[in-house]
């Protein structure tokens, strides 16, 4: 058992020095010996640490943008320990780099499952949710710029699963719905954006005005356009009020 322990602690010490291959070799020896001597404790810890080293190796490769090589390490980690939340997080970041949103979300959801019983995983889950939300929000914004409102709405609906209380998300949703002439959906989203936005609200009011105008609700459109006080839409709002809606 002494030998098993020494292999184990050697492995840990290599890991701390970021000498990953030596760490894995030592920990695997510890694991093999632990199995043959029925040392359940070391066997269990060796499993966990081998997975952790593979995940760290994956992270190092991910930082070098070696995505497929990183993925291979994360898969080795999961083979060793199927609830390695670090490996799932790594896989979600690889998917993000590859713009594979479906896989990114699936991996983050896996961390969410593990997080229900593991406080350390819960911390990583918070990070992962934030990264996923931001990635999907930005993807939605890009689709809006490309004038693909339907695709934008799909990304924004996914973003909402990871963070619901965000003004930009509702504002982009309102913009997309205005493009699609879905007036009621645009009004609801713009109002939600207004309730969440703590800073300048002129852009949101302009979009709300457009939605009311599209719906044929002149009074509310005038009211919204009157609140456009700053930014690029001031002249446009004035024009709508004076010449199109003829607001009182």
* Alpha helices, H only, 38-84: 40-63, 67-80
End-to-end distance of the chain based on CA atoms, in angstroms?
89
Residue 172 is assigned to a structural domain of this protein: yes
Is residue 110 included in any domain, yes or no? no
140 phi and psi angles, rounded to 5 deg: -60, -45
What Å distances lie between residue 37 and 7, 8, 44, CA to CA?
14, 14, 13
pLDDT at 242: 96
Q: Which residues contact 5 (CB under 8 A, 6 or more apart)?
A: 30, 42
Query: How high is the pLDDT of residue 121?
Result: 97
User: What pLDDT is stored for residue 87 in this prediction?
Assistant: 98
Percent pLDDT > 70 in the chain is 100
Tell me the C-alpha to C-alpha distance, in Å, between residue 78 and each of 56, 110, 134: 12, 12, 26
Confidence of residue 1 (pLDDT cuts 50, 70, 90): confident
Tokens describing residue 246:
């003829």
Is 239 within the bounds of a domain?
yes
Segment 84-108 mean pLDDT: 98
CATH number for the domain spanning 193: value is: 1.25.40.10
pLDDT at 195: 97
Structural domain boundaries, residue 189: 165-248
SS3 content of the chain, % helix, strand, coil (to 5): 80, 0, 20
Cβ-contact 245, 222 below 8 angstroms: yes
Which pLDDT band, with edges at 50, 70 and 90, does 37 fall under? very high
Residue 234 in domain:
yes
**For residue 248, pLDDT beyond 90:** no
Q: What is the pTM of this model?
A: 0.91
In a domain, 182, yes or no: yes
Confirm whether 147 is domain-assigned: no
Q: How confident is the model at residue 179 (pLDDT cuts 50, 70, 90)?
A: very high
On whether residue 204 sits in a domain, the answer given is yes
Mean pLDDT of the chain: 97
Contacts of residue 19, defined as CB under 8 A and 6 or more positions apart, other chains included, come to: none
Measured in residues, the chain has a length of: 248
For the segment 14-24, the average pLDDT, to the nearest whole number, is 97
State the pLDDT confidence band at 93, using cuts at 50, 70 and 90: very high
Percent of the chain, pLDDT > 90? 99
Q: Is residue 222 part of a domain?
A: yes
Scored b (16 or more CB within 10 A) or e, 206-230 reads: bbbbbbbbbeebeeebbebbeebee
Average pLDDT rounded to a whole number, residues 101-107: 98
Q: Encode pLDDT of 53-88 as tens digits.
A: 999 999 999 999 999 999 999 999 999 999 999 999
What's the CA gap between 90 and 100, in Å, rounded? 14
Number of domains in the chain: 1
> Residue 220 has which token pair?
């509310």
Q: Which long-range contacts (CB under 8 A, 24 or more apart) does 62-69 make?
A: 62/90, 62/93, 62/94, 62/97, 65/97, 67/94, 67/97, 67/98
pLDDT at position 108 is 98
pLDDT tens sequence across 129-148: 999 999 999 999 999 999 99
């Amino acid at each position: 058992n002494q030998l098993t322990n020494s292999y184990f602690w050697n492995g840990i010490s290599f890991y701390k020095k970021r000498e990953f291959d030596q760490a894995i070799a030592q920990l695997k020896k510890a694991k093999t010996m632990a199995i043959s001597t029925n040392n359940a404790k070391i066997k269990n810890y060796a499993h966990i640490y081998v997975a952790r080293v593979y995940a760290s190796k994956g992270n190092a490769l991910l930082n070098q943008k070696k995505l497929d090589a990183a993925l291979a390490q994360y898969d080795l980690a999961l083979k060793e320990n199927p609830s390695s939340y670090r490996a799932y997080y790594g896989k979600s970041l690889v998917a993000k780099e590859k713009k594979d949103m479906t896989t990114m979300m699936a991996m983050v959801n896996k961390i969410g499952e593990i997080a229900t019983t593991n406080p350390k995983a819960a911390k990583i889950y918070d990070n992962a949710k934030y990264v996923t939300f931001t990635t999907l929000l930005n993807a939605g914004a890009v689709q809006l710029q490309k004038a693909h409102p339907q695709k934008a709405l799909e990304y924004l609906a996914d973003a909402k699963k990871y963070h619901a209380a965000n003004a930009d998300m509702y504002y982009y949703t309102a913009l997309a719905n205005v493009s699609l002439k879905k007036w009621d959906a645009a009004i609801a989203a713009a109002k939600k954006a207004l309730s969440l936005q703590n800073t300048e609200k002129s852009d949101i009011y302009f979009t709300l005005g457009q939605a009311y105008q599209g719906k044929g609700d002149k009074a509310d459109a005038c009211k919204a356009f009157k609140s456009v006080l700053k930014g690029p839409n001031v002249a446009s709002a004035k024009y709508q009020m004076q010449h199109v809606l003829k607001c009182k």
